[in-house]
Chains A and B, each alone.
Chain A
């Protein structure tokens, strides 16, 4: 399973300050640490970035890829910032991923950019009408996003469907609905659709010591249902991912399997 390192988010104070001051040090340090811990892609979350988003995204992507040989997940609602990032993204390390489009027409330009730059894209299964009620509604929205993607010329294998993980502390019944949605999404196409979650949202609002426990157990259930990727902290989840790979027979067991990349 692909881990998309979540730690480069403008929500974190250290990252925000580094981004504001164009201080490469902390950004590169965090990116490197995520890569070494098992991330296969780095999420660059620059927030809404209404002013100077283009320049900030370009600076962030370049800063990360100077030290880490990974593709970037471009995370902002500002689509001209996404486009700016795609222009300078180093595809030698893999294809970039746009985070994200949805069934909201305001987000369709993201699909246009994905097609134009041959990028992959996350489709968040929400529409204009608010949060989906259950797995079935998520799948119905997913089908609509798939139709939009094809209209814009984005191949379905480049679309990662995101069922929208909600907080277990406030929306407990949605946890299982998300697990079910991951299963249903795959059935929408052959070969199966790719799926992604923003994992740590499940434990948002929970006490700090509970968060890794909830994240990892929830992840186990999602991987068992076939999850392709998770936006998460690799330091937090790498042992779970490796252990499940062993249990599912995807890697050969050895006593030191956790120490192997």
Chain B
């Protein structure tokens, strides 16, 4: 007798989100099954990987991941074009690190100009992120949102401390929004509720339950994402049905496993390969947990995860 796999049916569905503008608009989310369970329902869109670009040269990045961008990373526009034209990026994530008060403390206007310049020279969808300084981000993202008006970008991250201003900016400029909470499923739900209570469509939110790297709490991110997804699909919890983001690169490329040389720690093996693997494994774990949008750095790690997605869809 032929084996028939048991099938789950789910009562909920993840909202599909479109970003960018035609003809380079892309969609993610939209499934009514657990990640990659196309055999149980519909899994209409592949997860999307966005290449991370910074508005300042990536001096803090380890050499392994700095190297591929060396010729272009002194200028954000060249960097963005390189990712799009040479690496075939399907989306880009511009992190405005230069606006951080402890760093270059660039003004919101300067940030807006960078965004405009990049938008003028690329076609693929753009995600625009602050420097993760709640207060400064509120000011920066308001200016940036105006610069990206009607370009169907994602801006973020809105957090409990600053969401009101950022939500209003996303709403006024017709943009999508990342809502981030710190590894707490109940606060993640609460933030989505608060955002929608301001009149923002829940279909335009992307939930970021906060990423962590393999070996540094990945299992927490994994289980929060998994629980969010189960609430969305099995309990039809509409506040938990936006797609989820894994902001992978930033967390992976700051840990010692992606930086310590093989000379210093011979038992860990070759540094470059190790770093790439670390990013690829962290990213693929989050895809399995339910992420539909990833922000990554190393081209070889991106290629490995694209292959992983290809094999599972």
Task: Identify which of A251, A255, A256 contacts B237 (C-beta below 8 A).
Answer: A251
Contact indicator per residue, chain B 181-206, by CB within 8 Å of chain A (1) or not (0): 00001110110011001000000000
**Residues of B contacting A256 with CB < 8 Å?**
190, 193-194, 197
CB pair B235 A254 closer than 8 Å: no
Asked whether any CB of chain A lies closer than 8 Å to the CB of B239, the reply is yes
The verdict on A20 contacting chain B, using a C-beta distance below 8 Å, is no
Which applies to chain B's interface (DSSP): helix, strand, loop or mixed? Answer: helix
* Contact between chains at B193 and A252 (CB < 8 Å): no
A208 at the interface (CB under 8 A from B): no
- Asked if A260 is an interface residue, CB under 8 A from chain B, the answer is yes
Measured between beta carbons, the chain B residues less than 8 angstroms from A252 are 185-186, 189, 227, 231, 235, 237, 240
* Number of chain B residues whose Cβ lies closer than 8 Å to a Cβ of chain A: 14
Instruction: Report if A250 contacts B (CB, 8 A).
Output: yes
> A224 an interface residue at 8 Å Cβ cutoff?
no
How many A residues touch B, CB cutoff 8 Å?
9
Chain A interface mostly helix, strand, loop or mixed?
loop
Bound CA span A95–B169, Å: 44
Contact among A250, A255, A259 for B235, CB-based, below 8 A? A250
Distance to closest chain A CB from B279 (angstroms): 30
Interface 1/0 per residue, B238-258 and A, CB below 8 Å: 011000000000000000000
From known contacts A250-B235, A260-B239, infer whether A255 and B190 are also in contact, taking CB-CB under 8 Å. yes
Residues on A with C-beta less than 8 A from B185 are 252
Contacts of B227 in A (CB 8 A): 252
User: How far, in angstroms, from A253 to B239 measured CA to CA in the complex?
Assistant: 11
Interface string of A228-261 (1 = CB under 8 A from B): 0000000000000000000000111111100110
B193 to A254, Cβ gap below 8 A?
yes
CA distance A260 to B227 in the complex (A): 19
A252: nearest chain-B partner, CB-CB: B231
- Given A252-B240, A253-B186, A254-B186, the answer on whether A260 and B235 have CB atoms closer than 8 Å is no
**Chain B residue contacts of A251, Cβ below 8 A:** 231, 235, 237
A260–B186 touching, CB < 8 Å: no
Give, as a whole number of angstroms, the nearest-CB distance from B229 to chain A.
11
CB pair A254 B197 closer than 8 Å: no
Give bound CA distance, A251 to B11, whole Å. 13
A 186-233 contacts with B by CB, 8 A: none
Q: In chain B, residues 92-144, which have Cβ atoms closer than 8 Å to a Cβ of chain A?
A: none
- Nearest Cβ in chain B — how far from A242, in angstroms? 12
How many angstroms between the C-alpha atoms of A252 and B192 in the bound complex? 13
Residues of B within 8 A of A255 (CB): 186, 190
B216 nearest CB across to chain A (Å): 26
Which 3 A-B residue pairings sit nearest by Cβ, starting from the closest? Answer: A254-B189, A254-B190, A252-B231
B: residues with CB less than 8 A from A are 185-187, 189-190, 193-194, 197, 227, 231, 235, 237, 239-240
A-B contact pairs, 10 of them (CB 8 A): A252-B186, A252-B231, A252-B235, A252-B237, A252-B240, A254-B187, A254-B189, A254-B190, A256-B194, A259-B193
